[in-house]
Chains A and B, each alone.
Chain A
Amino acid sequence: MTRHRTDVLVVGSGAGGATTACVLAEAGLEVLVVEEGPYVAQGDVVPFSLEQMQRQYRSGGVTAAIGFPSIAYTEGRCAGGGTEVNSGLYRRPPEETLDRWRREHAIDDFDTGELYDICDEVEKELSVQLVPGAATPASEVLRRGAAGLGWRHDEIPRWMEYPDGGAAEQGRRRSMTETYLPRAAAAGARLLTDTRVERLARGGRRARRAEITTADGQRGSIDFDHVVVCAGAIQTPALLQRSGLRGRIGTSLAVHPTVKLAARFDQRVNIPDDVPVQQVKEFAPDLSFGGSASRPGLVALALSDDWRRFGSAVTDWEQMAVYYAAITSQGRGRVVALPRLRDPLVTYRLTTRDRALLGRGLARLALVMLEAGATDVYPCYRGAPVVRQRADLATLQATFATSKASVMTVHLCSTVPFGGRDSRSAADSVGVVRGTDNVRVNDASLLPDAPGVNPQATVMAIAIRNARRFAAERRHG
């Protein structure tokens, strides 16, 4: 039985936890960061590989939400969280989204200028930039297809460093283990990896102690004055619920559901270690298209919805790449921690409009592929036609149903929405969980809905804002 003690406990070390730890430690607070996953340095595993999925993702890569249809999702589970393993695509929160959140959720003192100033800092720290050299061929496919149709498209910057004039695949990720975690450590924060927080013991409105289990099964505890939960939009509400906090926690999960296709070209397009940086934004925010990781195994996975008919194409994986269509969903989901189960039950329900938009999105994405010169397009659902010409798109739309498709999401948020509305806010305007005095949330769970863009820039900006408010309060209080 190991016992720790700290002033501030930060649970989780991803985009929310690492930035929170850094701000608080640099403000002079005593900080202990607890991370369930292992510490894996950038460069130790091959990006988008099976080994990475096993070591740095929860449950080896894929978890499914129960619902109609079931929706698969992934969560990073390692020091640095999702920033270590995802595409590194960085997009500031749109001004309209921030305005809407401020208005509809009555978030107090939520200033767009302040958030954008924080974005400036983050962009410098993470070396957010466009690819100086050549984009990958799979990225070029999106650009060419969209340009041919006259559809808006652009390159999304990433948290990457490149050698002078370097090509896309020469980038080195400026993830949390390269940036905010070392900064936090330099300011005195401690990081405890391979350690899971099981629950927070509370007395009334205050939580005082975290019960922990290490990866090798050792139990222990951490006493603290304050806790900031940054375990991601699934694990954060689950931990709060296991700690007896319910109310609006976990009742409004928002995601960007996606459907995929694999496209084959008559020349090589596949660079296994990298993902496209182009996105097609003609229909944003309702609908966006981008490129997915396309290692041979992932190409095979994309063809597996109709393996009997599509499987043989995998031998041409070098000429193939996987793409997605993502929507802003009107549906909502729930996260419910169940007694004695390690992972919570996650449910999500798509609306009629969501299902129609996924089908239309997949067809429009297939049109981009044809325009870019794809010879064969394999949509990812059972019974899909191979699309070779525009007339085949009618068959695609006539046969698509979300119940036959692998609907997938990576942008999970909104399970502890913040703001000043009694009817919907689970945390106050700086992330203090309602009904508590010293339990904070500071990750994607706070976002009132899915922002329609890659959300991690928003997560970092809001986390830094809230952490600064907290540090200022501690200094004056």
Chain B
Amino acid sequence: MDDRVDPTRIAEPDATVVTGAAGWFGRAFLDRLTDPAGDDRRRGPLRALVHRDDEALAIDGLDGVEPVVGDVARPRSLTPLFDGLGGAVDVIHAAGVIHPARTDEFVETNDRGTANVLAAARAAGVRRLVHVSSNSPFGTNTHPTDRFRNDEPYHPYLGYGRSKLRAELHVAAAVDEGMNAVIVRPPWFYGPFQPARQTTFFTMVRTGRFPIIGDGRQRRSMVYVDNLVDGVIAAELTPTPPGRAWWIADARPYPITEIVETVGAALAAEGFDVRPNRLRLPAVAGRLAERVDALVQRTGRYVAPLHVVGELGSTIACDISVATAELGYRPRVELAEGMGRSIRWCREQGLEL
């Protein structure tokens, strides 16, 4: 029996500001905060920063959501986010690029963009800011059974990792200057509101062409997007000292082979014709892809498949016990169920798998 006592939470803020609101996490987060039947429904306004007018239109219908079109890379475009908000304001900073066209965007959006959001939030006197970081400031584990502890030495993985590391350092500097900011570190997401590249992932598994590198025993921590929403809300509303950072992931890391099998089974359960997976690459392919990716990134370009294959050969696995102890975070959904929901969501959206 689990006899741990969850930490008490403070009341929801009078207003909530979300950056990256049209992104994968942002959409799932807004969905939760506007769900009239849910416990996490916010009564105050939800200011949602999006990039484009069409994204604004897509979320405009959500109850209480006030879309603001802007860009974290342009500080002046952030002013309307905080205009006229009174009382306690919390910021969830989820804007970021992960698979850009050019590596400059990492710096502009993830690094400088975070500094801009922190500056705007400080100027507005917000109550608390939750920064959504990543596993990539920490690189990869040295072997399949190693786990990243809550505190780990930085070892950023290429351009994305360096930009997310710089972002964490901006948060730490803001905390040193008196700001109440904390960090949530999610690994690889899955779940509803997934972008097109994740549809490719399902297609690869369905057609038996997902590249399993080496013996497939390397582990990956993943996070079902609603588990991440739980973690972010817990990080926002649990009174902890500023500057804390937590891994938010599913209960355990999954071996790559288990991920492929589970997704295959989930697809089959939804009536798809799934072919047995045959695409196995030697371990050296992963290392080679990583090196080529590093070289390509040095020229400022970014090739997503190269990046993904480069990372797939390694273990990226974290230990969530500190988030459980300090935030009362408990992942509610695990791989089989989450992937099933994810596939059904894609079908509802009319996406081809």
Interface positions of A (Cβ within 8 A of B): 149-151, 282-283, 286, 353, 356-357, 360, 363-364, 366-367, 371, 390-391, 393-394, 396-398
Contact = CB atoms under 8 A, between A and B. Distances in A.
Nearest to A327: B142
A396 B153 contact: yes
B139 interface: yes
A150 B152 CA distance: 12
Nearest to B137: A394
Contacts, number: 53
A364 B146 contact: no
B142 A356 contact: yes
A137 B322 CA distance: 28
B181 to A, nearest CB: 16
Nearest to B172: A390
Given A150-B150, A150-B322, A394-B165, A363 B155 contact: yes
A258 to B, nearest CB: 16
B139 A149 contact: no
B23 to A, nearest CB: 26
Contact of B142 (A360, A366, A371, A391): A360
A356 B139 CA distance: 12
Contact of B153 (A282, A286, A353, A394): A394
A453 to B, nearest CB: 18
Q: Which of A283, A357, A360, A398 has the most CB of B within 10 A?
A: A360
A281 to B, nearest CB: 13
A227 B156 CA distance: 56
Contact of B143 (A353, A367, A390): A353
Nearest to A371: B151
Interface string B298-311: 00000000000000
B169 interface: yes
Given A353-B143, A397-B153, 11 more contacts: A149-B150, A149-B151, A283-B146, A360-B142, A360-B146, A390-B153, A391-B154, A394-B153, A394-B165, A397-B139, A397-B154
Interface in B107-166: 137, 139, 142-143, 145-146, 149-156, 165
Contact of A366 (B146, B153, B156): B153
B contacts with A: majority SS: loop
Contacts of A353: 142-143
Given A353-B143, A397-B139, A363 B153 contact: yes
Contacts of B152: 364, 367
B149 A393 contact: no
Nearest to A365: B153
A408 to B, nearest CB: 20
A364 B153 contact: yes
Nearest to B147: A283
Contacts of B139: 397
29 contacts: A149-B149, A150-B149, A150-B150, A150-B322, A151-B149, A283-B146, A286-B143, A286-B145, A286-B146, A353-B143, A356-B142, A357-B142, A357-B143, A360-B153, A360-B155, A363-B153, A364-B152, A364-B153, A366-B153, A390-B153, A391-B165, A391-B169, A393-B153, A394-B137, A394-B153, A394-B156, A396-B153, A397-B139, A398-B155
Q: Which 5 A-B pairs give the minimum distances between C-beta atoms?
A: A393-B153, A363-B153, A394-B154, A397-B155, A356-B142
A352 B143 CA distance: 10
A201 B151 CA distance: 59
A397 B161 CA distance: 13
Nearest to A352: B287
A400 to B, nearest CB: 10
A27 B172 CA distance: 67
A78 to B, nearest CB: 38
A75 B94 CA distance: 56
Contacts of B155: 360, 363, 393-394, 397-398
A398 to B, nearest CB: 7
A381 to B, nearest CB: 15
A357 B143 CA distance: 8
Residue of B145, B153, B156 with most partner-chain A CB within 10 A: B153
A385 to B, nearest CB: 12
Contacts of B149: 149-151, 282
A367 B154 CA distance: 10
B328 to A, nearest CB: 17
Nearest to B150: A150
Contacts of A149: 149-151
B150 A367 contact: no
Contacts of B156: 394
B126 to A, nearest CB: 25
